[in-house]
Amino acid sequence: MAKVQPLPNEVRGLNRTLEVGVRHLRTKDLLGMQELSPEEIQLILDTAFVMKQILSVQTKKTAHLQGKSIIHFFAENSTRTRLSFESAGKYLGATSSNISKTGSSINKGENLYDMAKTLDMMSTDILVMRHPESGAARYLSEKISASVVNAGDGMNEHPTQALLDMMTMVEYKGHLKGLKVVIAGDAMHSRVMRSNVWGLSKMGAEVRVAGPPTLIPRFLDRMPCTVYHDVRKACEDVDVVMGLRVQFEREHKVLFPSVNEYAKFFGIDDECLRRAKEDAIIMHPGPCNRGVEMPSHIHEHDRSVIHEQVANGVSVRMAVLFLLNARRNLQA
Amino acid sequence: MNNEYPFYNRVLIKEVINGLTGELTDLAVEDGVFVAELTGEPDRVIEGAGLTALPGLIDAHAHLRDPGFEYREDIVSGTRAAARGGFTAVAAMPNTIPVADSAPVIRYMIEKAGQAGYCRVLPIGAVTKGQKGEEIAEIGFMAEAGAVAFSDDGKPVSAAGIVRTAIEYASYFDRVVISHCEDLSLAAGGVINEGIVSTEMGLRGIPSIAEDIQIDRDTRIAEYSGLPVHIAHVSTANGVEIIRQAKARGVKVTAETCPHYFTLTEEAVRGFHTMAKVNPPLREESDRLAVIEGLRDGTLDMIVTDHAPHHEDEKDCEFSLANNGMIGLETCFPLVYTVLVKTGLLSLRDAILKMTEAPARLFRLPVPALAAGEPADLTLVDLGREIVYDVSESLSKARNTPFSGMALYGFPVLTMMAGHTTWEQV
């Protein structure tokens, strides 16, 4: 079977000449998919496809954020998110700096507010932050004048991940409405799951969340999704199979007995793919515990778009930075 | 006594409504006690028209943070806030530094409150040394020094065997153990109720069973020993039902709840509002209604504040790092009146008894009454006037409350302890 290919722009209805620059987000910050309207999500996705075209030309640089300062504050480990935000800012012409938890005065005992206020006083335009506590991005957004982009707060939300996932789905499936998506794995600790459930449901997709009972939070079925414990059954007739990383670093106690047992009973396997639609795509937000959430051969499957997700991460983050900056310019 | 308010030896309160009986009455106070008739002309006449007189309220559960956390609250600021809330006695939990697990700390609290002269402090001693849950503290010495009950409140006593020992040992000194019910392995580091809100917000949840199971455990220990136990801050529907059934079996269990559990639900936390973060956590609407039903049918004997002052920085931070608790001395009676009495859910008389008679009995103290010969402990409340509570005017050092900005009825306009004014609205 040949490697799955993105649909041509014409088929996706994305053969667009967007009047970039006249539209923007409603709010100062991007905190979560729960706060975004379907129109805003569509705007970000449309803009992201334009950004992707910019990235495909020889000199991938624009001046839209020239003279703007972005600070990346990551109080948790990150490879993909951090690097793609940094690249996105640079391709748009912004000046950017980085601080991490270990290298910052947080380690000297400074509280989050004082540190963020310090950044604010240095004329920061956009603060991209990742933090282990749910609600941390919202907390700072109410305290500082810079725009806050939530790059993951605890178990709450990771909106740019959901946006890049949705962009990838549009790229391969042409649309989100009516799409059947299964999100399988450690839902309990997953901000990616929460952001995707909010975002995909707003765009009319049917979301299923699957995982062992101990990794499914109570009352998840009251969120706009259907809960399954049988991962294979959940994969029946779906367009998208998305694995979630088992977050070993977040649990104080063991919620399943062993990695082997998890992989056998709850991992994404060939049976899952057999039950899914023939042209279903395979996704994972990364980093993947290979052999746990899915075996390597599924990770590298012809229908896997896991690496393409990473590529789209840059486009989506360019779009978010661009649209937040557009709003800031409007207010200035 | 406090120097803030002048002392009048003979006070006549004219044409006030007795909150317990509903009758219009004059109240005469002389030499610090209620009298049938004054021996001479009054030094002060208070026009009681439009006001309702309540016996001095007793809060059976507060944190005054003194000694050790005076930056949050101290005995002076805490008792001033208590007087403003209509209280003439407030029971102070022992989670101080040092822990109130020895007689000297108990004496210090009583003496400091006496010097301040705003409200009696009834110290609650620790059940176990250092509140570590390992060995029982010197309950006898503390009882002798004036401790009115024993509790490790703030944390549960995890070992059932220690609870049994404490209940039985304290019984010799005619003291009751107050149980903070929380199974820590089930609570599992949770920060709000485990429910739809914790699921949506990505916060760790505390399941209701963490509370229910220990309520069941401790009432069964009391049943086995044939001795009383008091259950602190009940927040769950099943907790109420377990206590109801225990009472039906004849267990000597008493129980309390707080205004936040019959006023708010977990929805108050949405938006990561740390002011609504409290332990036990705010639960679901069905729990809130069950707590009200428990108050109505007598399963829940008392309404207490669980006044828990915190410094601004301890609430103004990431949600999971924020401290648990809210201040409540000034808003307790107004919430009881506005949410329960004004709505017809609870009679004014029952509400008053849950804040006077029931805590007095728990602590083996005389029941406050507006009757000749009794200490002149009372508060005058204005049930007809709506006031928007503004926490910036609080007499507490702390500002952590979700109730600021709420319009409430029944704020005290004057509080008197043994004939001395301890609060007066000017």
Structural domains in chain B, CATH included, are 10-51+379-424 (2.30.40.10), 56-368 (3.20.20.140)
How many angstroms separate the CA atoms of B90 and B307, rounded?
A: 10
pLDDT score for B105: 98
**Angle formed by the axes of helices B237-248 and B285-296, to 10°?**
30
* Nearest CA distance, B136 vs chain A (angstrom): 30
Q: What percent of chain B has pLDDT over 70?
A: 100
Q: Which two tokens stand for residue A303?
A: 């229908």
Which whole-number Å values give the CA distances from A75 to A112, A147, A188, B3, B111, in the listed order?
10, 18, 21, 52, 48
- Model confidence pLDDT, tens digit, residues B330-353: 999 999 999 999 999 999 999 999
Residues of B in contact with A218 (CB under 8 A): 194-195, 198-199, 205, 207
B318/A218 Cβ within 8 A: no
- Model confidence pLDDT, tens digit, residues B8-28: 999 999 999 999 999 999 999
**Angle formed by the axes of helices A80-91 and A159-173, to 10°?**
80
> A97 pairs with which residues across the strands?
A71
Chain centroid to CA B270: 26
Catalytic residue from among B152, B301, B306, B377: B306
| Contact status, residue B320 vs residue B190, Cβ threshold 8 Å | no
A157/B318 Cβ within 8 A: no
pLDDT score for A106: 67
Of A170, A160, A161, A164, the residue nearest A205 (C-alpha) = A170
Kindly report the average pLDDT of chain B as a whole number: 97
pLDDT score for A322: 95
pLDDT score for A2: 83
pTM: 0.94
Q: Which two tokens stand for residue B10?
A: 């003979």
Residue pointed to by tokens 């936390």? B269
Tell me if residue B306 is catalytic. Answer: yes
B313/A219 Cβ within 8 A: no
DSSP class per residue in B161-196: HHHHHHHHHHHHTT--EEE----HHHHTT--EESSH
Residues of B in contact with A253 (CB under 8 A): 188
DSSP state, residue B282: P
Q: Where are the beta strands (DSSP E) in chain A?
A: 69-74, 95-100, 126-131, 147-153, 180-184, 206-210, 226-228, 240-243, 281-283
| Contact status, residue B219 vs residue B254, Cβ threshold 8 Å | no
* Nearest CA distance, A135 vs chain B (angstrom): 6
pLDDT score for A15: 43
H helices present in B173-234, as ranges: 184-187, 196-201, 208-225
A194/B318 Cβ within 8 A: no
- Closest CB to A191 among B202, B204, B271: B202
DSSP state, residue A160: H
- Model confidence pLDDT, tens digit, residues B110-126: 999 999 999 999 999 99
pLDDT score for B383: 98
Residues of chain B contacting A, Cβ within 8 Å: 188-189, 194-196, 198-205, 207, 271-272, 313, 316-321
Chain centroid to CA A74: 15
B189/A134 Cβ within 8 A: no
Average pLDDT score over residue span B245-262: 98
How many angstroms separate the CA atoms of B325 and B237, rounded?
A: 20
pLDDT score for A253: 62
B200/A194 Cβ within 8 A: yes
- Contact pairs from chain A to chain B, CB under 8 Å: 66
How many angstroms separate the CA atoms of B150 and B100, rounded?
A: 10
- Model confidence pLDDT, tens digit, residues B184-232: 999 989 999 999 999 999 999 999 999 999 999 999 999 999 999 999 9
Residues of chain A with pLDDT below 70 are 1, 10-22, 103-104, 106-108, 251-253, 332
Task: List, in order of start, the domains of chain A with CATH numbers.
Answer: 14-157+311-331 (3.40.50.1370), 159-305 (3.40.50.1370)
Of B177, B168, B97, the residue nearest B130 (C-alpha) = B97
pLDDT score for A110: 78
B318/A112 Cβ within 8 A: yes
- Model confidence pLDDT, tens digit, residues A233-275: 999 999 999 999 988 777 656 788 888 999 999 999 999 999 9
Q: Which two tokens stand for residue B370?
A: 């507006």
* Nearest CA distance, A234 vs chain B (angstrom): 21
In a 3-state reduction of DSSP, which class is residue A292?
coil
Average pLDDT score over residue span B236-263: 98
How many angstroms separate the CA atoms of B201 and A301, rounded?
A: 34
| Closest residue of chain A to B320, computed from CA coordinates | A133
